[in-house]
Amino acid sequence: MMVKTGIVLSGGGVRGFAHLGLLQVLEELQIQPYAISGVSAGAIVGAFYAAGHSPEKIRDILKKNSYFGWSSFLLNKDGLFSMKVLRKVLQTYIPENSFESLNKKLFITATDFANNEAITFSKGNLIDTVIASASVPAIFEPVKIDDHVLVDGGLLNNFPVEPLEKKCDVLIGCNVNKIPKGLGNGKRIGKMNMIEKCFHMAIAPTVYSKVPSLHVFIEPELHEFGMFDVNKADQIYEAGYRAAMKHKNKLLSLME
């Protein structure tokens, strides 16, 4: 019987390139995920991968279009940034634009801003859902889907293990937001560094409370990279690859 393997991908901006390192290791070990649960950057990576694109191709697509860098975002009339660039390229590489058309089961978490709750999507309009999951409040435009006004899923659930718990035999989770000791991320203490660290400190207890549900927990050392250091994409990818490869033997044994 085939082992149903589920992959959980956290949010984390440009550090989401580390998720691709994990997926590359799984490819090399010939481990095919049955389902993926992603949020924010993890939702973007998960959507491309579930659509059949290889980790290396996804890395090239994301680097070329700088999705995680400020340069790809366009300011709209309300003073909020738009994800028109991301939307356009998602349309190019996932033209069917539906969960049902994907090669793998995909679950994406977004936050219902009006009702103060996390919502998981697994059917319908894929691109709107991906963009909603990555729309940081007060920076990006909210996304309306049906009666929901949606923003970044990481606000309430930055490590969405729950959608896979009863659907998979093996759960592998990758969190790209390990909080470093000290101040900031190795750079001077700026407002963005402070805001970022405070956010991750606030959500860390919820993230780590879910680790016991996993068979493999991967947490790359990424403290030197900021959420928008898109020029460091290759280094982040390699860090994710190295972190996942440390679990090679455990991963292979779980497939037996």
Catalytic residue among 40, 72, 82, 135: 40
Q: Looking at residue 10, what is its pLDDT?
A: 98
- Chunk the chain into consecutive blocks of 10 residues (it has 256) and report each block's average pLDDT, rounded to whole numbers: 95 95 99 98 98 97 68 51 84 97 98 97 98 90 94 96 98 93 58 77 92 98 82 95 99 96
Burial pattern 31-66, b for ≥16 Cβ within 10 A else e, equals bebbbbbbbbbbbbbbbbbbbebebeebbebbbebb
Q: Distance between CA 4 and CA 16 in Å, rounded?
A: 23
Q: 147 an active-site residue? A: no
Task: Give the HSE-up count for residue 108: Cα atoms under 13 Å, Cβ half-sphere.
Answer: 32
Q: 10 an active-site residue? A: no
Q: Could you give the angle at which helices 41-50 and 55-65 cross, rounded to 10 degrees?
A: 130
Helix (H) or strand (E) holding 244: helix 233-245
Catalytic residue among 112, 128, 152, 229: 152
- Hey, what CATH topology would domain 5-254 get? Cytosolic phospholipase A2 catalytic domain (3.40.1090)
Q: Looking at residue 85, what is its pLDDT?
A: 83
Domain ranges of the chain: 5-254
pTM, rounded to two decimals: 0.92
